[in-house]
Amino acid sequence: MTSAEQAWSGVDAYLVDEVVGEDDALAAARARGRERGLPPIDVAPNQGAFLALVAQLAGARRVLEFGTLAGYSTIWLARAVGASGHVTTVERDPRHAEVARGNLDAAGVGERVRIEVGAALDVVAGLADAGTEPYDLVFIDADKANMPAYLELALRLTRSGSVIVGDNVVRRGAVVDPSDQSPDVAGVRAFLHDLGTDPRLEATVLQTVGSKGWDGFAIARVR
């Protein structure tokens, strides 16, 4: 870790302690993910709080999440929608889904969350084909190669005023590196192009630094 990255992480830790806070259930969810060998790629606590605030500002009662992992961000979102709200989260790996279910139940929000296990393209297309009620907020945090397709599915499952958030869209600057033609980076570039050109959306993208390194998120509103 470079000195700059150490400083970013230190500031994040200060901000979480001073402003955000992370209760025992959230900390335990992250810890269980590590214990079970899941990759340490959950959103940071201050990012989780940001997602929850976005959901609350949007008045979200129905949330769709692409990528569950250990359920850390899912807990934030489930708390944000309240006792009468609902979160559908999609996870490809059954083992990850099992860990997430335990974390959600332990956090007391399990009844608000349905975990759909399978490839997100298939699962979410099925939801759209079934005429599922629109979602107020969609959080896209699954494999980046498929982000353009996930965005199109999100648009099928939202309404005017719904919010779509895409995570990890800067990728330590790789998004502007012409030598990087990896599927994930290509997927992010196409996703960002779609955000900027689709007349159904108004959007922006912000770079971030912190405990998760140099990255960024996109946020869009359905017109």
How is residue 178 written in tokens? 């012409």
CATH number at residue 119: 3.40.50.150
CA distances from 117 to 45, 106, 140 (A): 25, 20, 16
pLDDT of residue 1: 78
Inter-axis angle of helices 45-57 and 72-81, to 10 degrees? 30
CA distances from 53 to 44, 67, 79, 83, 140 (A): 14, 19, 10, 16, 16
Q: What is the pTM of this model?
A: 0.97
> Which value, in Å, is the radius of gyration of the alpha carbons in the chain?
17
pLDDT in tens, the chain (223 residues): 799 999 999 999 999 999 999 999 999 999 999 999 999 999 999 999 999 999 999 999 999 999 999 999 999 999 999 999 999 999 999 999 999 999 999 999 999 999 999 999 999 999 999 999 999 999 999 999 999 999 999 999 999 999 999 999 999 999 999 999 999 999 999 999 999 999 999 999 999 999 999 999 999 999 9
Rounded CA gap, 54 and 71, in Å? 18
Counting the structural domains of the chain, the total is 1
Rounded CA gap, 109 and 100, in Å? 11
Rounded CA gap, 187 and 146, in Å? 6
Q: Which range of residues forms the domain containing residue 70?
A: 3-222
